Amino acid sequence: MQHGKVGFVLAFLAVPVVIYGLFVLSPYVQAIYISLTDWSGLTASQTFVGFDNYVRLFEDDQFWVALKNNVILMLVVPVVTLALGLFFASMINVGRRGKSGIEGVRGSKVYRVVYFFPLVLSMAVIGVLFKYVFAPTEAGGIFNGLLGLVGLDGLTQPWLGDPRFAFWCVVVVMIWAFVGFYVVLFSAAMQSIPKDIYEAALLDGSSRFTTFRHVTLPLVWDTVQVGWVYMAIQAMDGFALVHIMLGISGGPSRAGDVLGVALYRSAFNSYRFGYASAIGVVLLVLTLIISVLFMRAARRERVEL
């Protein structure tokens, strides 16, 4: 009977495992092999060069600029995005004590729509939109126009044309684009918390911040942990926004370059697919390391209701 059960399980697992290996694991193996070759991507022949691509990669100053920007994205974007997501979700769901008990702040239904709005836009649309928002004044830049309307003309800048600001504009846009998703995610988690717990905290004289810290956050921490890892992986990419807002070069002086754009530029602009694959392998390894570190850093004892 036991043998029959094993055969039954294997029969159902065989096809999914084969498909997973063919369409998920196989591309990884191929990318690793290509990273060890000198291949233009236009010929059938591939010259094996060992780790030469990795040696050139780590000697390339632009690679370190792109890596630094990816690290900044990974550290800044998840922290700010999740903090804003938790704050807005808390205000929408448990922001005040109403006649019917704990409820969101006034107008919370409108805020839900406002925060959710970026989710209906593709990253390409967001990139094009904010490319015009941060355009120079003479090109009709919306942000510079608003600064001029409130008498802050001295603060106007060619935001995407200045190496000091170009990359940080991308950071701001990425945070804006992802906050809505985490507001929805954390709202769903908070709605599962019994309102009686909040009522008890208020009767004990707990402030809003204390209630959030000792009640809300521990009870939604599992969701925060998942969101943390997911946001870190998204931030490690950054390809779409940088490519659309700053171009294939990564902006002025390539100051806004990231690994995804460097990979694309090497493969489809310089036709160095072996070198591009080496960048991809480094990006894969970094993503795995960051995921493990974030999971360990965010691990804590589970709180049961």
pLDDT tens series, the chain, 305 aa = 455 677 777 777 888 888 888 888 898 999 999 999 999 888 888 889 989 999 999 999 999 999 999 989 988 999 999 999 998 888 888 766 655 556 667 777 788 888 888 888 888 899 999 998 998 877 678 888 888 888 888 888 888 988 999 999 999 999 999 998 999 889 888 888 887 887 777 777 777 778 888 888 888 888 888 888 888 888 887 888 999 999 998 888 899 999 999 999 999 998 999 999 999 999 989 888 887 887 777 666 555 55
CATH of the domain at 205: 1.10.3720.10
Question: Does a structural domain hold residue 72?
Answer: yes
Whole domain around residue 115: which residue ranges?
59-297
CB 223 within 8 A of CB 185: yes
Using DSSP bridges, classify how beta strands 96-98 and 47-48 pair: parallel, antiparallel or unpaired.
unpaired
Question: Does a structural domain hold residue 163?
Answer: yes
Question: Does a structural domain hold residue 98?
Answer: yes
Question: Does a structural domain hold residue 261?
Answer: yes
Question: Does a structural domain hold residue 43?
Answer: no
Q: How many domains does the chain have?
A: 1
Question: Does a structural domain hold residue 110?
Answer: yes
* CA 82 – CA 61 distance, rounded (Å): 32
Number of H helices, E strands in the chain: 15, 4
Burial class (CB in 10 A: 0-12, 13-18, 19+), 182: buried
